[in-house]
Structure 1
Amino acid sequence: MASDFDLNVAWCPEYLGLDDEEHDFPAHNVQGDFDLNLLPHEDESSFIQETEVLEHQANDNTLVAVNHHKRSRLSSEDKLQILCWLLNKAKACKLKRGSITEASHLFNLSVRCISNIWNTARKQSSSMQRYNVSTKFHFSGRKRIQVQLDEITKLKMGERSCIRDLATMLNMSKSTVHRMIKRGLIKPHTNSLHPGLKEPNKIERLKWVFSLLMGNTPATMREYYPMYDIVHLDEKWFYLTTKSQRVYLANNERGRYRAASSSKFIPKVMFTACVARPRYNSAGECTFDGKIGIFPFTYQEPAKRTSKNREKGTMITKVVESVNQKVTRDMLINEIIPAIKEKWPRDGGPTTIFIQQDNAKAHITHEDPEWQLIHEQDGFKFILIQQPPNSPNLNILDLGFFRSIQSLMHKKMPADIDKLLEAVNQAFYELDPKTLSNVWLSLQYVMNEILKVGGGNDYDLPHVNKKKLEKQGVLSDQVKTLCGQLWTLGIKSMDKHQHHSNHEQQNRTTEGE
């Protein structure tokens, strides 16, 4: 039967954003007749929820099974199919007599439910609106508590240091604040303490970043050197344990008891780590993991007396208490350089290797007399370079690799110094080379941020989702700058810092006179 209703304007939430070809609407021909073969569900049980109830007969004490229809909640798709069936029965905006009753039997719904769907469609059609068969179920239930962002930002930082304090200041429960954190309306933030930078420090940081850009003009300085000829070196204290450890236990399990003579003097060992950038072939296979080695500042000596732990003369591990320039020079010449020569790839790559280290007093410089005697050997040329002062974020190890090693090491829970040395060494070599490669990429993104803030360190670490980019095959080995814009911005910042530094120096000279 022909219908005066145009179903092409029908609407329900499930079909938002779809093209007309993707709508699962009933088909109709040119004359406007709807195809009834597509309308009713073949399995009408989807509209019926029946429960078998055994009722006790009072007269003869027999059990009889009675079907009770539990009212089902119609979805928007179900309502749309019922409306389509009714529109096929309609002519001149009027239903054929008995159509609502017939629909109630066909779809196993009450007459009132069918009437509500039809009356709502008539009102929408008379007011020239699109058919809206969306359910109002999402309007039911308790409404979410809304909080304006201004109510949070106007609070002092000390008044929102924990969920309890923030909930008190906002006059709501802790569970409500926790749900807002889960939904992303409130985000937790850890405010770390950054090294203080003066104007000369910012100038040095900008110069350092410029030296790692390829080219010498804004038009050509668009990406960083691949840095395959640079080795990063740094020291770190690794503690035997932490003051507190978090683990998950079974319901009937008791936590491990830990004790120490003093929580302020936990045994620790200083390590020197040395890493380069990993290399991969065209098939994506790692040909060089970039891990030169991690070397502890320890030594062996025999036990002087017998104890309950060991016999006299047993070799025990001792920690070097004072790491000075003599110790670091010996470590560099006798352990690190041989390890680099042993592990460096022999694929025709660079043999001039730059060893980057920080400005600690214990580090030697390239002009050291003993270093000058050995810095060229076996076809290699080693050059010591110092990174800018107060710039741990320009070293791969401080930027993220040490943190990854430390996390793996604490999972092994070493019990003594020897176990600590073994745990750190295992964590160093167990770490995926891809993690180290990603830190090298992060370094280049960090240098972009340094250019943006004019050599400072007031920026958030950039997150570019490297794993996703790698799966898509668009992750580059060299990070690009903004086509010279950062270069120009960095030059202006450096000139500004230089002018400010010269002005301060003139003021000091004037005051001295």
Structure 2
Amino acid sequence: MSQQVHMDEKWFYMTRTTERYYIILEEDVQYRACQSKRFKTKVMFMCAVSRPVYGDNGEMIFDGKIGIFPFLEEIPAVRNSRNRPAGTLETKPTNSITEEVIKGCLIHYTIPAIKAKWPQKASKDIFIQQDNTRHLIKDNEPEFRAAANSDGFNIHLVFQPPKNPDLNINDLGFFSALQTLQHEKAATTVLELVKNVKDAFVELQQKKLNFNFLTLQIIMVEIMLTKGYNNFTIPHMRKRVLERLGTLPKDLIVDEIIVRECL
């Protein structure tokens, strides 16, 4: 797992449909307005994370957070308004996420971020796990291979098992943790939304990312116990308690009998 990078895309919305506020008696309720709750302003992000790396004394060497990259484009305004004249470049979300858009994000942002942040002593044979949507590129794409095999790195694209979102760290809990932090700050523009998401990515504690990878191992064991099905309940490991006691395992031990039965 120390050689894996989990990558996935997600829409982040400017606001929730319903919000809860705590106000004092003399305070006015803030007015919230939107043209339609079905078409809230949203931006898609590409998120890439890996497992945090710790030294022998418990010091953090690598926090596992590769980067989170928004899909934006600059579009000139068509008409005049009181806010800006026609022709002014405006930052808008990219609503059509095609194969070319994904390839550009991988080559120009994700791979350079991996090379810049990857631990020096770690293996440079890296596997980027992505889901099975149609607009994602394959491992043998020429431009991707040229970028992935440079600077001493050997990066490959692999697909997660189909219909198993729990096997991707982002879907398993990382995105929900990001959203919780993101919605603590209000946003009124696309740029503010992007800033809030990036701030949440930086502020999220790396130990929660390590917890997610332990949960992933628990899920893998449960999949083996159910012979490949997903009709299981994720058992609670009490990771925070084990961390306080200093007994949190780095990896889970799998019974050899379970592995042989699955094979």
Instruction: Using the TM superposition, give the Cα deviation of residue 416 of structure 1 relative to its aligned residue in structure 2, in angstroms.
Output: 1.4
SS at match of 2:66: strand
Amino acid at match of 1:229: Q
Is structure 2 residue 172 aligned with structure 1 residue 411?
no
Map 1:35-184 onto structure 2 (within 5 A): none
From 366, 385, 389, the counterpart of 2:162: 389
From 348, 357, 371, the counterpart of 2:130: 357
Instruction: Using the TM superposition, give the Cα deviation of residue 490 of structure 1 relative to its aligned residue in structure 2, in angstroms.
Output: 2.4
CA distance in 1: counterparts of 2:195 and 2:145, whole angstroms: 34
CA distance in 2: counterparts of 1:292 and 1:302, whole angstroms: 32
User: How many positions carry a matched residue from both structures?
Assistant: 263
CA distance in 1: counterparts of 2:113 and 2:85, whole angstroms: 35
Bigger radius of gyration = 1
Q: Hey, what does 1:285 align to over in structure 2?
A: 59
CA distance in 1: counterparts of 2:74 and 2:28, whole angstroms: 38
Is structure 2 residue 246 aligned with structure 1 residue 490?
no
Kindly report the root-mean-square deviation, in angstroms, between the aligned alpha carbons of the 2 structures.
Answer: 1.4
Instruction: Using the TM superposition, give the Cα deviation of residue 300 of structure 1 relative to its aligned residue in structure 2, in angstroms.
Output: 1.9
Of the structure 1 ranges 365-374 and 404-413, higher mean CA displacement relative to structure 2 is found in 365-374
SS at match of 2:97: coil
**Are the counterparts in 2 of residues 452 and 489 from structure 1 also a CA contact under 8 Å?**
no
CA distance in 2: counterparts of 1:379 and 1:235, whole angstroms: 27
CA distance in 2: counterparts of 1:296 and 1:424, whole angstroms: 9
Instruction: Using the TM superposition, give the Cα deviation of residue 272 of structure 1 relative to its aligned residue in structure 2, in angstroms.
Output: 0.3
Q: Which has the higher helix share?
A: 1
SS at match of 2:12: strand
SS at match of 2:43: strand
Q: Hey, what does 1:273 align to over in structure 2?
A: 47
CA distance in 2: counterparts of 1:309 and 1:460, whole angstroms: 52
Instruction: Using the TM superposition, give the Cα deviation of residue 462 of structure 1 relative to its aligned residue in structure 2, in angstroms.
Output: 1.9
Q: Hey, what does 1:99 align to over in structure 2?
A: none
CA distance in 2: counterparts of 1:369 and 1:284, whole angstroms: 40
Q: Hey, what does 1:256 align to over in structure 2?
A: 30
CA distance in 1: counterparts of 2:102 and 2:46, whole angstroms: 9
CA distance in 2: counterparts of 1:479 and 1:252, whole angstroms: 54
Q: Hey, what does 1:232 align to over in structure 2?
A: 6
Q: Hey, what does 1:420 align to over in structure 2?
A: 193
How high is the TM-score relative to the length of structure 2?
A: 0.95
Amino acid at match of 2:262: G
Q: Hey, what does 1:189 align to over in structure 2?
A: none
SS at match of 2:101: helix
CA distance in 2: counterparts of 1:397 and 1:237, whole angstroms: 12
From 85, 96, 117, the counterpart of 1:322: 96
- Residue by residue, what CA displacement relative to the aligned partner does 1:112-139 show, whole Å, maximum 9, x if unpaired? xxxxxxxxxxxxxxxxxxxxxxxxxxxx
Amino acid at match of 1:423: N
Amino acid at match of 1:460: T
- Residue by residue, what CA displacement relative to the aligned partner does 1:121-160 show, whole Å, maximum 9, x if unpaired? xxxxxxxxxxxxxxxxxxxxxxxxxxxxxxxxxxxxxxxx
**Are the counterparts in 1 of residues 74 and 92 from structure 2 also a CA contact under 8 Å?**
yes
**Are the counterparts in 2 of residues 238 and 406 from structure 1 also a CA contact under 8 Å?**
yes
**Are the counterparts in 1 of residues 130 and 160 from structure 2 also a CA contact under 8 Å?**
yes
Instruction: Using the TM superposition, give the Cα deviation of residue 257 of structure 1 relative to its aligned residue in structure 2, in angstroms.
Output: 1.4
Contiguous gaps of at least 5 residues in structure 1: 1-226, 492-513
Instruction: Using the TM superposition, give the Cα deviation of residue 260 of structure 1 relative to its aligned residue in structure 2, in angstroms.
Output: 1.0
- Residue by residue, what CA displacement relative to the aligned partner does 1:154-179 show, whole Å, maximum 9, x if unpaired? xxxxxxxxxxxxxxxxxxxxxxxxxx
SS at match of 2:183: helix
From 453, 456, 468, the counterpart of 2:241: 468
CA distance in 2: counterparts of 1:345 and 1:310, whole angstroms: 46
Amino acid at match of 2:259: W
SS at match of 2:68: strand
How high is the TM-score relative to the length of structure 1?
A: 0.50
Q: Hey, what does 1:371 align to over in structure 2?
A: 144
Amino acid at match of 1:488: R
Q: Which has the higher strand share?
A: 2
**Are the counterparts in 1 of residues 12 and 179 from structure 2 also a CA contact under 8 Å?**
yes
Instruction: Using the TM superposition, give the Cα deviation of residue 313 of structure 1 relative to its aligned residue in structure 2, in angstroms.
Output: 4.3
**Are the counterparts in 2 of residues 325 and 363 from structure 1 also a CA contact under 8 Å?**
yes
Q: Hey, what does 1:443 align to over in structure 2?
A: 216
**Are the counterparts in 1 of residues 103 and 137 from structure 2 also a CA contact under 8 Å?**
yes
- Share of identical aligned residues, percent? 43
**Are the counterparts in 1 of residues 5 and 50 from structure 2 also a CA contact under 8 Å?**
yes
**Are the counterparts in 1 of residues 111 and 147 from structure 2 also a CA contact under 8 Å?**
no
Amino acid at match of 2:116: E
